[in-house]
Amino acid sequence: MMEEAKKLVQGESAPVYRTSTGCPIYNPLASARIGEGGPVLLQDFHLIDLYQKFDRERIPERVVHAKGSGAFGTFEVTNDITKYTKLNMFSKVGKKTPMLARFSQVSGEQGFPDMYRDPRGFALKFYTEDGIFDMVGNNTPTFFLRDPAKFPVFIHSQKRDPQSSLRDNTVYWDYLSQNSESIHQVMILFSDLGGTPYGYRFMDGFSSHTYKFVNDKGEFYYCKWHFLSDQGTKGMTNEEATETNGTNPDFARQDLFDAIERGDYPSWTLYVQVMTPEEAEKYRYNIFDLTKVIPHADVPMQEVGRFTLNQNPKNFFTDIEQAAFSPSHMLPGMDISPDPVLQVRTFSYPDTHRHRLGANFEQIPVNKPRCPVFNYSRDGPMNVTDNQGSMPNYPSSLQPLAKEYHEPNEKHEKWVGQVTYHMDEITDVDFEQPRAFWERVLGKQPGQQDNFVKNVASHLSKAVPVVRQRQYKVFTRVHPELGSRIQEATEKEAEKVAKTQNKGVNQGNKHMFEPANK
C-alpha cells in the first residue's frame, strides 16, 4: 500500500465507509435480512450498490497491448531543434513537459506473463501547453508488415485459435512464412534484446515509422525518433525468460514499479534522424516502408532531450488502464507521413478508444489536455466537464472564438496516381537489412547468433513440418548459413518435443484423497 493511502486509513481523519451516493453504512459486510437467517431485502440499497458496481468492474481490455504498466515523469529539452519543428514542447533548451509512459506486451491478455517473447509497446503521452501529443512506438525500429490491410489478420495469427482458444505455433509461423516482409522484425524479435528485454527499463524505444517535422516557416522534414535507455540495454535468454514467467509473471511490471518507489528513476534520451524531402526521394530505401530502418551511417542521430519517470500511478485503472494513446494525437510542428500503416493507425486508435472508454474518453483526467479547449462539440455519454458552459456551439458572429494562432502555411507532399490494390512484392532488397542484422548486429555480440538460433528453434519446432520448411527458406534467403543452422537446430528440437509430450509425475492409479471404503 502506498504511504499516502496508509495515512488515510490509519489517521484520525480515516474516511467513513459510504455508498456511492454518500450514505454512511454501519456494517458493510452484512446484508439486510428478515430475522436471523432469513432472505435478503431488495430495499438494501447498499447491497444493490455494491453489486451493480462489481458487475460492471471490467471494461474491454485493449485488443492488442492489453498487458502493460506505466508511470509519470518529465521530458526536458537538451538540444535545440527548432530549425526542424515548431513543436511547442521543443521550443527552448531546458523546457520541461509533464508526461506519461506506458510499456506493454503486444499479443497476450491482461494476465499474461511479462517475459513471453513479444515486441514491447513504448507509448508516451506529453501534456504540452498546446495540448496532448502522443508518440506511440515499440522497442523495435521496424514492424512485421507494410500494408495495413494485413494487421488484423497478422494479430489473429499471434493470438488464440478460434476453436481451441490455444496459442498455436503452426498458425504463428504459417502467417510469417507466407508474408516474408516480416523477416526483419522476426530477426529482431527472436534476439534476446528484441523479444525478451529485461523488464522495461533496459530497452530502447522507437517511433518505428517515419513522421514529419514542420517548422515555423512551413517547411517539412522527415524524422524518425529513437529513445535510448540511459540504463543501458539487456535482455534475458530464452531459459531465463521462461523461468521468470513461472516465478514472477509480473516481472516487468514489478521491476518498473519497485525502481520508481525506491527513487531509482529510469530515463531515456531522445535522438532523431532527420531527412529533407529531396533526400528522401533519392534515398536507396523507401522511408515509408515500416519493415526498414534508416542506418545511422546514412542519417546521423541528433540528440533532443531526455525523459525521466519518477512517479508511479496512484491508481492503476484510472492512470494506466484508462490511458488512451494515439498516433493521431498530433500538434503543430509534427505531422503524419504517407506511411500507409501509420495512416491507418490514426483511425484505429481513437476508434477503439470510443469502444473501450466511451465517446468522451479525452475527458478522463489521464487523457485530458492541460490547456483550455473550446470547440463546437458537446454532450455525449459520461460528459464530466462543464460542457463548455454557455459558450456558443456553432461559429457565432456575436461571440467568435480566437483565431488559431499557428497560421497553417505548410508545404506538403503532392501525390498523383491511379487507384491500385498493390500486392506486397518481396524483393532481394527486403533481405539486405535482416542480413546486416545477422552479420553485423548479432555477429558482433558474443553468443548472440547462437542464442538467436536456439530461440527460433524452440518456437518454430512446435509448428507442423510444412510450415517449418517454408520458414527455413525465408531464413536461407537472409543468409544460407543462417538457414541451415536454423533448420538443423529446429529439426533436432522437434524430435525432442515429440518425445517429451507426456510429462508429469506418475502416481499410478492413486488419487490424492482415496475414498475411505476402497
Binding segment toward ligand HEM, per CB under 6 A, in 60-68, 185-193, 237-245, 404-412: 60-68
Selected from 98, 131, 148, 277, the binder of ligand HEM by CB under 6 A is: 148
141 contacts ligand HEM (rule: CB under 6 A): no
* Closest to 106 in 3D by CA, of 157, 158, 153, 177: 158
Cell of 216: 515555423
Q: DSSP letter at 10? A: H
- Determine how many CB atoms are found less than 10 A away from the CB of residue 480: 10
Q: 352 to 371, contacts with ligand HEM by CB under 6 A?
A: 352-353, 356
Catalytic choice (138, 139, 169, 312): 138
Nearer to ligand HEM, 184 or 477 (CB): 184
Q: How many helices (H) and strands (E) does the chain have?
A: 15, 10
Strand locations in 116-219 (E): 120-128, 131-138, 205-206, 211-214
How many angstroms separate the CA atoms of 102 and 62, rounded? 13
How many angstroms separate the CA atoms of 186 and 437, rounded? 11
Selected from 151, 257, 283, 316, the binder of ligand HEM by CB under 6 A is: 151
Sign, Cα dihedral of 282, 288, 292, 296: positive
Sequence-ordered alpha helix ranges (H) in 248-381? 251-261, 277-282, 316, 340-356
Answer yes or no: are the C-beta atoms of 73 and 88 closer than 8 Å. Answer: no
Count of residues touching ligand HEM (by CB under 6 A): 28
CB of 278 to ligand HEM, least distance (A): 26
Q: Annotated binding residue at 211? A: no
The 8 Å CB, 24+ separation contacts for 503-512 are none
104 contacts ligand HEM (rule: CB under 6 A): yes
How many Cα atoms sit within 13 Å of 126 on the Cβ side?
26
Would residue 65 show up in a list of annotated catalytic residues for this protein?
Answer: yes
* Closest to 307 in 3D by CA, of 102, 69, 114, 130: 102
Cell of 82: 527548432
Nearer to ligand HEM, 187 or 324 (CB): 324
SS3 221: strand
Nearer to ligand HEM, 98 or 350 (CB): 350
348 contacts ligand HEM (rule: CB under 6 A): yes
Answer yes or no: are the C-beta atoms of 307 and 101 closer than 8 Å. Answer: yes
159 contacts ligand HEM (rule: CB under 6 A): no
Nearer to ligand HEM, 151 or 202 (CB): 151
Strands 68-77 and 220-229: unpaired
How many angstroms separate the CA atoms of 455 and 452, rounded? 5
Binding segment toward ligand HEM, per CB under 6 A, in 64-72, 279-287, 365-373, 500-508: 64-72
Answer yes or no: are the C-beta atoms of 224 and 272 closer than 8 Å. Answer: yes
Q: 72 to 101, contacts with ligand HEM by CB under 6 A?
A: none
How many Cα atoms sit within 13 Å of 123 on the Cβ side?
25
CB of 229 to ligand HEM, least distance (A): 16
CB of 209 to ligand HEM, least distance (A): 6
Nearer to ligand HEM, 126 or 349 (CB): 349
Selected from 193, 294, 323, 366, the binder of ligand HEM by CB under 6 A is: 323
Selected from 88, 97, 105, 138, the binder of ligand HEM by CB under 6 A is: 138
201 contacts ligand HEM (rule: CB under 6 A): no
SS3 84: coil
Binding segment toward ligand HEM, per CB under 6 A, in 173-181, 317-325, 392-400, 459-467: 317-325
Selected from 214, 259, 324, 467, the binder of ligand HEM by CB under 6 A is: 324
344 contacts ligand HEM (rule: CB under 6 A): yes
Catalytic choice (65, 209, 226, 353): 65
Selected from 102, 146, 459, 477, the binder of ligand HEM by CB under 6 A is: 102
268 contacts ligand HEM (rule: CB under 6 A): no
CB of 412 to ligand HEM, least distance (A): 22
123 contacts ligand HEM (rule: CB under 6 A): yes
CB of 156 to ligand HEM, least distance (A): 13
Burial pattern 295-331, b for ≥16 Cβ within 10 A else e, equals eeeebeeeebbbbbbeebbeeeeebbbbbbbbbbbbb
CB of 366 to ligand HEM, least distance (A): 11
Show the CA angle centred on residue 214, arms to residues 213 and 215, nearest 5°: 120
Show the CA angle centred on residue 58, arms to residues 258 and 40, nearest 5°: 115
The contact mask relative to ligand HEM for 204-243 (x = CB under 6 A, - = no) is ----x-----------------------------------
Binding-site positions for heme read: 349
Q: Which residues are annotated binding-site positions?
A: 349
Residues of the shown chain interacting with ligand HEM in the complex, contacts defined by CB under 6 A: 62-65, 68, 102, 104, 121-123, 136-138, 143, 148, 151, 208, 323-325, 341, 344-345, 348-349, 352-353, 356
Which residues have a catalytic role annotated?
65, 138
